[in-house]
Structures are given as C-alpha cells and as structure tokens.
Amino acid sequence: MAGRPRVGVLALQGDVREHVALLERLGAEVRRVRRPGEVDEIDGLVLPGGESSVIDKLSRSFGLQEPLRARIRSGMPVYGTCAGLILLADTVLDGLAGQQSFGGMDVAVRRNAFGRQTESFEIALDVPVLGPAPVHATFIRAPIVDRVGPGVDVLASLPDGAVVAVEQGALLGTSFHPEMDGEPRFHARFLDRVRAFVGA
C-alpha cells in the first residue's frame, strides 16, 4: 500500500474514464465503484462530474447511498468535481424535487449556476494552495458554492467572488473539471489525504 493508494471512482454516470486515467497516472490503484460491497474495499473516493440528480437516483437504486454516507462520516477522503461537489454538499439549494446528496461538507451549492452547456467556459484560476502556476479550469454546467460553513476552507474563487473550490478536512470539491485538462494537482492533493488516512 505504501505509495499506491487504493481509490475508487463512483462509476454510475459521468466522466469516470478521465478520472481513472489521471489517478492511475499519479500511481493510484483505481477501482470503479458500482456496488455496496466495493465501498469497503477503497480508502478514498472520487465523485465525478455528470448529472447530480441521476447519480443520486442511481446510488439509491444500487444501495450505495448509505454505505457512502457512512464512509464519508468515518473520515474517508472524497474528491467531488462538478456534480460530485453537489453530492458532497450538505445543502443543495435548487435541486430537483426529492433530490438528495451524500453530504459531509458544510456548504450550500447552487446547480447549473452558469446556465446551460452552451455557457460553458474555461479560465486560468489562481489556487494558492497548489502553488503559483494557475489552474486551467473548465466549467461545464457548473455549480457554485453559495454558502461556506465555518470549518470549510475556500481554495479558489472566480474574479467576481463566486466560490468554486473548497476543502473541509478530508473532503475536497471543485466546480470545474481538472481531469478533462489533465491537471493533476487537485487529484494529487486528494491522494495525499488518502495516504494520510491509511497511515501509509
């Protein structure tokens, strides 16, 4: 295990392949998580982008919601991108009727805050905790963090002040998709948390 964290990517819907490729490039042992039993076989989890309401419904249909909530409560590191950030949020301000999240992060998020997919955009984003080089950030029907709890650190904001990257303990969330640009630093930060979690 030393140096080779065992991580999962929730593989119900969304951009799973890009996360798997980037995590493997960083030296992780990666498993696609689709069944409740697989939740106990990992030491960290990535929640990919996609459609948050669909991932929510599928997670309940496959019996994954409660096992995932329990592992999050236990302190397992989780990184959510775009829809994954929505799923990590304790509060979803404009979710569909009956939509739920896994929770764990004391933030309120707003879905599709930038409009439809045609309003997707890219920007060079300053993320001081990742070093001086800016992050090339791709936003696709992205959420924003509308409220941040007292235990949450803001890692990055847009020029207008909209919060788009947050961290709370072992939980990390971004509104954008580093995996689509091959940007490794957020995933590397997540893997550092996984190594610390397992004591490697």
Structural domains of the chain in order of their starting residue, each with its CATH number = 6-198 (3.40.50.880)
Q: Which percentage of the chain shows pLDDT scores above 90?
A: 86
CA distances from 38 to 1, 7, 56, 86, 192 (A): 17, 10, 17, 22, 21
| 85 closest CA partner among 110, 61, 57, 114 | 110
Residue 110 confidence (pLDDT) = 94
- Identify the segments of the chain with pLDDT beneath 50: 1
As annotated, the active-site residues are 82, 177, 179
Q: How far is CA 95 from the centre of its chain?
A: 17
Query: What b/e sequence results for 34-67 when a residue is b if at least 16 CB atoms lie within 10 Å of its CB, and e otherwise?
Result: beeebbeebbbbbbbbbbbbebbbbbeeeebbeb
pLDDT single digits (tens) 27-74: 999 999 999 999 999 999 999 999 999 999 999 999 999 999 999 999
CB 85 within 8 A of CB 146: no
* pLDDT at 119 (0 to 100): 64
pTM above 0.85, yes or no: yes
**Given this model, what pLDDT does residue 141 score?**
86
